Chain A
Amino acid sequence: MLGLGEAEWGAVALSLKVSFWATVLSLPLALITAQALARGRFWGKSALNLAVHLPLLMPPVVTGYLLLVLFGTQGPLGRFFALFGVEFAFRWTGAALAGAIMGFPLMVRAVRLALEAVDGRLEDAAGTLGASRARVYLTITLPLMAPGIAAGAILGFAKAMGEFGATITFVSNIPGQTQTVPTAIYTFLQVPGQEGAALRLIVVSILLSAGALIASELLAARMRRRLGR
């Protein structure tokens, strides 16, 4: 299909794997962070807000460098995770981490907006009906946020799919190991005679992005119908 070669398929498969894990693992954290930012009252809230949004504003190469310093084999967090057998630098796991961090601010923003749109009076009503706070969250807050959570997840996934700067800085561009679709396109464009491969991957990128957008629109429409809006 599409006449993709083995290296190109490898990049597509790796990108999907990296983006999937980046999304799945950062989503719960995004829910907690959004909850804290939207409703929490604690010291250091603005600092947290800044830290979450920093990757959106910094040059990605800086984020990649900081990841290398912190999560590299000699970095403090890198050594910590090595105790559990998890390594990041120059591994696909590192690409997932880079994608997760770059997509995180987008995800938190979408989830936070959804949370702020939830009518607190419905949560109060659930409380007066005897529901514990955990039950209120699971049965009222979360379902009412669902369209925003889905939007945030798709945004995060798309961001991870497209991540370039931080990824190439942190995990380099090793074919079959850390070469994602964007870094593969970059490589193919550097080599004379590889424009065909680059073009095929560009088409795949466009199809995946459009697919994600259409999926998110359909999902949001279905959820809105279910919420009777």
Chain B
Amino acid sequence: MNVEIDITHGFDGLTLRVEAEVKGGLTAVFGPSGAGKTTVLNIVAGLIRPDAGRVCVNGRVLVDTGAGVFLPPAKRRVAVVFQEARLFPHLSVERNLLYGAKSRDGLADMVDLLGLGALMTRAPGTLSGGEAQRVALGRALLSDPELLLMDEPLSALDRARKQELMPYFERLRDEARLPILYVSHDVEEVAQLADQVMLLRGGQMQALGPVAQVFAGEGMAPEISRDMAAAVLEVSIAGYDARDGLTELRLGGTPLWLPGQAGELGHRLRLRIDARDVMLSETEPQGISALNILPVTVREVRAGPGSGALVALDHDGHRLMARITKRSVRRLGLEPGKRLFAVLKTMAVAARG
């Protein structure tokens, strides 16, 4: 399974330039709004004709401007889950699901997988946002695509609905054996769902690689609104303290503690550490309730537009971020190379066998 994208396309006064080869799994197309994420998706889906370039899925050419090839969307076998579900309002949920299907064969399994049993006879107008998005996902999958595109499928939903849908997306990623391009500007979604990240900014592809690696890269911070700044780290499970109910993790040489039993010994775990959950201290804090304290070195200080600043930190080759006030930057005299201690809350987002 692979998807080759090599395109140049002018849009909104910018030039979109993406050259990437993506294997199976879920690839997040990540970046701030206006970066060209949705344009990439529309070009792959065939809804936009690129100025120049080619797109191939499993060796099949979908568009090649040089060779004058342009397959219409209907012939691409590329299904799309749009931000606004786009269910057909005059058809029942069941008929929506079957719209792109060649037979009813996969229907029962899909209904089970997505928990749609009670919705089949309903009209799309009566569904909640989360239900509609589940139907849209089922409809896309039943069309038997070779590639699935998802355009911010959760962004129109509230937090509770997002959390309700995430497990379905995880199951899909793990069971469907189908490459997925997933457009998002939400670190939380990307950290939880993505196998790899394509980072876009101003139409230019900045990076493509495993999540932790791309998140550790330079120039990551401006992609993320200040509230969403986070580090994503891959760690291994080193032990479990049954008395306190804490899982011990290893990050470099330092232990980290996570509430609950996060998984089997030796398994890998992905952590998201939000920048706003990281405090900095000049001296090693003593007599503090926080369990996780890491020695770090300042790599970069970036002042925000308001009172805040984002500090990029390095711990044993792992990149962390802290969001603190400009006043604290001045008081602590933060500059690249300064050694500090980071006090953090951690959150495990996804277990990876």
A residues adjacent to B (C-beta < 8 A): 121-122, 124-133, 139-140, 143-144, 226-229
A125 touches B86 (CB 8 A): yes
* Complex Cα–Cα for A132 and B100 (A): 11
Name the distance in Å between A95's Cβ and chain B's nearest Cβ: 36
Q: Which residue of B lies closest to A132 (CB)?
A: B74
- With contacts A121-B82, A122-B86, A144-B89 taken as known, whether A128 is within 8 angstroms of B45 at the C-beta atoms is yes
Distance A133 CA – B77 CA, assembled complex (angstroms): 15
- Which of B20-28, B120-128, B199-207 lies at the interface? B120-128
8 Å CB interface, B117-161 against A: 123-126, 139-140, 143
Q: Is the CB of B80 within 8 A of A125?
A: yes
Contact pattern, B 67-90, Cβ under 8 Å of A = 1, otherwise 0: 000001111111110101010111
Contact check, A131 vs B90: say whether CB atoms are below 8 A apart. no
| A126 with B77: CB separation less than 8 A | no
CB of B86 within 8 A of CB of A129, answer no
| Distance between Cα atoms of A127 and B143 in the complex (Å) | 11
A126 touches B79 (CB 8 A): no
A127 pairs with B90, CB closer than 8 A: no
A-chain residues with CB within 8 Å of residue B46 when the two chains form the complex:
127-128
Known A228-B123, A228-B125, A228-B126; contact A128-B78, beta-carbon cutoff 8 A? yes
Known: A127-B73, A127-B74, A128-B80. A140 touches B126 (CB 8 A): no
Residue numbers in B under 8 Å from A229 (CB-CB): 89, 125
Whether A131 and B86, one on each chain, are in contact in the complex, defined by CB atoms closer than 8 angstroms, is no
* A140: nearest chain-B partner, CB-CB: B88
Q: Roughly how many angstroms separate A176 CA and B42 CA in the complex, as a whole number?
A: 62
Inter-chain CA distance A128–B86, complex, in Å, is 12
In the complex, number of A-B residue pairs with CB atoms less than 8 Å apart: 67
Docked pose: A138 CA to B59 CA in angstroms: 33
Is B291 an interface residue, CB under 8 A from the partner?
no
Interface size on B, residues (CB 8 A): 27
Distance in Å: Cβ of A117 to nearest Cβ of chain B: 12
State the Cβ distance, A121 to closest chain B Cβ, in Å. Answer: 6
B182 nearest CB across to chain A (Å): 16
Q: How far is the CB of B43 from chain A (nearest CB, A)?
A: 13
Chain B nearest Cβ from A146, distance in angstroms:
8
What are 20 inter-chain pairs, A to B, with CB distance below 8 A? A121-B86, A122-B89, A124-B86, A126-B88, A127-B73, A128-B46, A128-B76, A129-B79, A129-B100, A130-B77, A130-B143, A131-B99, A131-B100, A140-B88, A143-B90, A227-B89, A227-B90, A227-B125, A228-B124, A229-B125
**Further pairs besides A129-B99, A130-B75, A228-B124: 9, Cβ < 8 Å:** A121-B84, A125-B86, A127-B73, A128-B46, A128-B76, A128-B79, A227-B89, A228-B125, A228-B126
A226 interface neighbour in B76, B90, B100, B140, Cβ under 8 Å: B90
Q: In the complex, which of the residues A122, A128, A130, A132 contacts B88, with contact meaning CB atoms closer than 8 Å?
A: A122
Interface flags, B85-116, vs A, CB<8A=1, else 0: 01011100000000110000000000000000
Q: Is A129 within 8 A of B140, CB to CB?
A: yes
Q: Nearest Cβ distance between residue A130 and chain B, in whole angstroms?
A: 5
Q: Give chain A residues whose Cβ lies under 8 Å from the Cβ of B124.
A: 228
Cβ contact within 8 Å between A228 and B89: yes
Give A144 to B45 CA distance when docked, in angstroms.
24
Asked if residues B143 and A129 are in contact (CB atoms below 8 Å), the reply is: yes
With known contacts A122-B86, A226-B90, A130–B74 Cβ distance under 8 A: yes
